[in-house]
Amino acid sequence: MATVGPNGTDISTDDGRNWRALSLPYVIGPHGRIGVLRPSALKPETK
């Protein structure tokens, strides 16, 4: 299981009894799709 909220992303491998934080910014989408946000995508473009 994974959960995403304003405090970050957490994952549980034991049906939600214990949770641990993930250091990478993950997102959960439709149909259980999981994506990872590249930190470079947050940097503004330079011209």
Burial 4-24 (b: 16+ CB within 10 A, else e): eeeeebbeeeeeeeeeeeeee
pLDDT score, position 17: 93
**pLDDT value of position 42:** 62
The span from the CA of 18 to the CA of 21, in Å, is 10
pLDDT of res. 47: 66
Q: Is pTM beyond 0.75 here? A: no
pLDDT in tens, 1-47: 777 777 777 888 898 899 988 777 777 788 888 888 776 766 666 76
